[in-house]
Structure 1
Amino acid sequence: MATNNNFFESLPEGFIANAMSRTSPRDVCRLSLVCSLFRSAAEWDAVWEKFLPPDYRKILAGGGGSKKEVYMRLCDYPVMIDGGNKSFWLHKPSGKKCYMLAARELSIIWGDTPRYWRWISVPDSRFAEVAELLSVCWLEVHGRINTSLLSTDTRYAAYLVYKSAPHTYGFEHHPAEVTVGLSGVEGQVKTVFLDPEACRRQRHEYEQTLPGRRRMGMFNHLRRLASRSNATPPENGPTRRQDGWLEIELGEFYNGKGQEGDLDMSMMDVRGGNWKGGLIIQGIEIRPKAS
């Protein structure tokens, strides 16, 4: 180990910094643990400026500090843009761009009809207003962002960020349809349960139909055999975020080089007769898909 450290210490610090700038923020942090030379090179502005978006000065309105400090600030503290209807930050491990569209930035069917929706402020939202569903039978929410705003060569996922009010109803038994795709191109449609308990119940019922499950009684055994041919995988369900809100994945999208257009994201439950209410929507978040 001492021999390796001596070799590293003999390299020019600028050479090390240049090599680090061609990796990723996560790699730079790991390499800084190799030796004191790497730790010093990992602080160079030239390294961290490579991970910052070209317009970072405009986004931060002249925020000072080293480039590493600016980078960390953009990762840890989302910046409000577009009149407060979008927030922007960087994905800390990769430096990829992330956005959240506020509920006001979304197209919500009947969103401005006080009978069906109301706009309120809640203390744990990053936006001034959120949309609270009062009562509808036709639920339809759409979001759109131009792919030129996103990082290239990156697989993104879009998430509806929401919470349930104490009086939420109508989501216990009916899943919603969600999709993500380029405008004008039909995206993959999947179904999700917005109600966490409904998702757990559906997953449990599906598991009971799998081969090898012991079921007591002839009736249950025959019912299992009959359902096997129609069994489907469990529906996707929401997860709880660190900020206390729920999120449900709407779909994925790979943003390749030269692939420009509008990315459409939607969530719908339009079956007649299924009235629902109590959902509080903060917005739609677009961030790199965890590998």
Structure 2
Amino acid sequence: MAQLQRDDIVSLWTQGVQAVKDKSSCAAVITAKELSIVWGSDSRYWKWVSKTYPISCEALEVAKLITVCWLQIDGEYDTSNLKKGVKYGVYFVVELSDNLCMNGPVTLKLTRPNRTTEEHKEDLETKPKNTLVGLKVGEFINSACGCENTVKFSMNGCDGTTWKTGLTVIGAVIAPVW
């Protein structure tokens, strides 16, 4: 899948933040605190830090991985807050440090509101370091049907045998795909 450049991530995040402020329904931002991070509340594995990025005028509270062998990050969003009939992309926004160690790809999975899924693997070791990286989880069309209104997405690196480090989770963005 195509990797987003830093400027694209800044643009998507800004669009999502503006949509929230304007109470429009064209995009959404999910902060790291709104995601479910396995072991995220255990300071032996994750550290919550305040950091200022070009995507926000204010400092964001982000999750900095110390070390885990079970990497699992889950998110969900109520699509009734988004425009109907629009095609959206879901992206994890992360920063990878020079000491990144994943020992294999992570699995990115999207479960659409109609319960169909999309899944692929990404090798984070090949991504740029010390800059924002947008990992595209997948796409969905926000249909007007009366079905389930939740989109779910995850990042999983659960081989359970190797310790992982060097990942900072900023959050996730859901934005129109043109």
TM-score, normalisation: structure 2: 0.79
Q: Does the CA contact (< 8 Å) of 2:88 and 2:140 recur in 1?
A: yes
| Contact preservation (8 Å) 1:87, 1:101 | no
Aligned to 1:100: 29
In structure 1, C-alpha distance between the alignment counterparts of 2:13 and 2:166, rounded to whole Å: 29
Q: Residue type of the partner of 1:105?
A: E
Within 5 A, what are the aligned runs for 1:131-280?
131-170=63-102, 173-182=103-112, 185-196=115-126, 244-259=131-146, 260-280=148-168
- Secondary structure of residue in 2 paired with 1:87: helix
Q: Which has the higher strand share?
A: 2
In 1, distance between residues paired with 2:71 and 2:162? 10
Asked whether the 8 Å contact 1:88–1:99 carries over to 2, the reply is: no
Deviation at 1:76, TM superposition (A): 9.6
Contact 2:93–2:171, Cα closer than 8 Å, also in 1: yes
> Is the 8 Å Cα contact of residues 101 and 125 (structure 2) preserved in structure 1?
no
Provide the secondary structure at the position in 2 that maps to 1:129: strand
Give, as a single letter, the amino acid of the residue that structure 2 aligns with 1:270: C
Instruction: Please tell me the residue identity of whatever aligns with 2:80.
Output: S
Q: Which runs of 5+ in 2 are unaligned?
A: 1-10
CA gap 1:261/1:121 in 2 versus in 1, 3 angstroms: same
- The number of equivalent residue pairs is 161
Match of 1:232 in 2: none
- Give how far 1:107 is off: 0.4
SS at match of 2:141: strand
Q: Please tell me whether residue 87 in structure 1 is matched to residue 30 in structure 2.
A: no
SS in 2 for 1:104: helix
Q: 1:188 and 1:254 mapped to 2: Cα distance?
A: 13
Displacement of 1:179: 1.2
Q: Which has the larger radius of gyration?
A: 1
Of Structure 1 and Structure 2, the greater helix share is in 1
